């Protein structure tokens, strides 16, 4: 059971789950019971959630195991990336952005033999409502149950885009102070979660545990510049993140994420220019997306991006 005090102008976590379940989004916790205990007290509401236990964090799953990334461990990581990235697309299509993808907000459990591991995204406490992408009837139902005004909540969450999330996993644009979040920011956070996880698995406890510079948070702008410089080259980024070796299966998936995130439609590396006003994301590499997420999800993210650009928004 989870009980939280939320400012009344913020988006309730229970409302996010309500919308996602209405849209039949998978890879998220099932909510058994939820509601509001106190509608308003000193500018806050008290909500409760009784939700499914989706397993352990990736780091807990692999804790104490061999540092080798071959075989089953590499396949589990690839499966986790595919499931989580696909889920992020469907969450976005349902009118929600998670905004806090981190090591602790991904859960893994063992499924049946045919499914293997099941990865889920948990903790939508920092989620953002995108009312333009939610059916009017659904939005009316959810806002009535959870006692919020969609326009007010949307305005509040927009104003918090630049500071919401776990700094260690924030995207380069957000670290540079970009004021509008999109799907690619959550995908980029997943990219850093995976790189951090691989580094942790390859670094025995007895060795020097100095965190690699691109993962060492010493202020938002500092980390943004370090990451931008590190990711300017596709050939050397793994070593810069402290990764000694990476099996081909996993390397192909990471490289596909790299192409999706940091190579624009003209083949230009844009990791180093996200802080420039003139440099905005104009397209995503759909072919690259299909290498690390489900095919249907990779096609759907193009549709989501088109909706954004047609409304004059930055690409999703």
Does residue 114 have a pLDDT over 70? Answer: no
Given a contact cutoff of 8 angstroms between Cβ atoms, the answer to whether 94 and 25 are in contact is yes
Q: Which of 69-73, 229-233, 277-281 has the lowest mean pLDDT?
A: 277-281
Neighbours of 179 (CB within 10 A): 12
Dihedral angle, C-alpha 36, 39, 44, 45, nearest 10 °: 0
The Cα–Cα gap between 210 and 216 comes to 9
The pLDDT mean for the chain works out to: 88
What pTM was estimated for this model as a whole?
A: 0.93
Residue-range domain boundaries for the chain: 55-133+162-310
Q: Which of 27-36, 112-121, 204-213, 237-246 has the lowest mean pLDDT?
A: 204-213
pLDDT digit string (tens) for 42-63?
Answer: 999 999 999 999 999 999 988 7
The Cα–Cα gap between 182 and 6 comes to 23
Does residue 277 have a pLDDT over 50? Answer: no
Mean pLDDT of 171-184: 89
Given a contact cutoff of 8 angstroms between Cβ atoms, the answer to whether 202 and 243 are in contact is yes
When comparing pLDDT for 272 and 170, which is higher?
Answer: 170
The Cα–Cα gap between 260 and 154 comes to 28
Report the SS3 class of residue 5: strand
- As a three-state string, the secondary structure of 277-293 is CCCCCCCCCHHHHCCCC
Neighbours of 283 (CB within 10 A): 13
- What percent of the chain stands above pLDDT 70? 87
Q: Kind of pairing, strands 128-129 and 96-97?
A: antiparallel
pLDDT at 270: 81
Q: Kind of pairing, strands 117-121 and 44-51?
A: unpaired
pLDDT range class, residue 195, cuts 50, 70, 90: very high
pLDDT at 99: 97
pLDDT at 278: 39
CATH number of 55-133+162-310: 1.10.510.10
pLDDT at 66: 58
Neighbours of 284 (CB within 10 A): 24
Does residue 283 have a pLDDT over 60? Answer: no
Does residue 310 have a pLDDT over 70? Answer: no
Does residue 235 have a pLDDT over 50? Answer: yes
Q: Within a 13 Å sphere around the CA of 188, how many CA atoms are in the beta-carbon half?
A: 28
């Amino acid at each position: 059971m989870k009980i939280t005090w939320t400012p009344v102008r913020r988006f309730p976590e229970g409302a996010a789950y309500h919308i996602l379940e209405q849209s039949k989004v998978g890879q998220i916790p099932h909510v058994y019971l939820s509601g509001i205990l106190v509608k308003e007290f000193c500018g806050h509401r008290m909500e409760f959630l009784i939700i499914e236990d989706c397993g352990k964090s990736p780091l807990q799953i692999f804790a104490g195991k061999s540092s080798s990334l071959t075989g089953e461990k590499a396949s589990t990581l690839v499966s986790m990336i595919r499931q989580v990235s696909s889920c992020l697309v469907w969450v976005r299509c349902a009118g929600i952005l998670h905004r806090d993808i981190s090591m602790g907000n991904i859960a893994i459990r063992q499924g049946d033999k045919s499914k293997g591991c099941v990865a889920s995204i948990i903790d939508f406490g920092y989620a953002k409502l995108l009312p333009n992408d939610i059916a009017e009837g659904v939005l009316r139902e959810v806002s009535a149950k959870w006692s919020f005004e969609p326009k007010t909540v949307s305005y509040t969450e927009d104003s918090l885009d630049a500071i919401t999330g776990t700094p260690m996993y924030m995207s380069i644009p957000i670290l540079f102070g970009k004021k509008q979040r999109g799907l690619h920011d959550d995908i980029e956070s997943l990219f850093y979660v995976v790189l951090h996880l691989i580094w942790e698995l390859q670094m025995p406890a007895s060795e020097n545990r100095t965190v690699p510079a691109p993962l060492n948070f010493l202020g938002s702008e500092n980390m943004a510049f370090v990451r931008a410089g590190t990711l300017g080259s596709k050939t050397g980024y793994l070593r810069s993140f402290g990764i000694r070796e990476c099996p081909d299966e996993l390397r192909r998936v990471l490289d596909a994420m790299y192409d999706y995130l940091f190579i624009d439609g003209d083949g230009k590396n844009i990791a180093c220019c996200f802080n420039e006003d003139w440099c905005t994301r104009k397209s995503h590499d759909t072919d690259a997306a299909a290498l690390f997420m489900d095919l249907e999800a990779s096609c759907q993210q193009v549709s989501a991006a088109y909706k954004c650009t047609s409304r004059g928004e930055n690409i999703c």
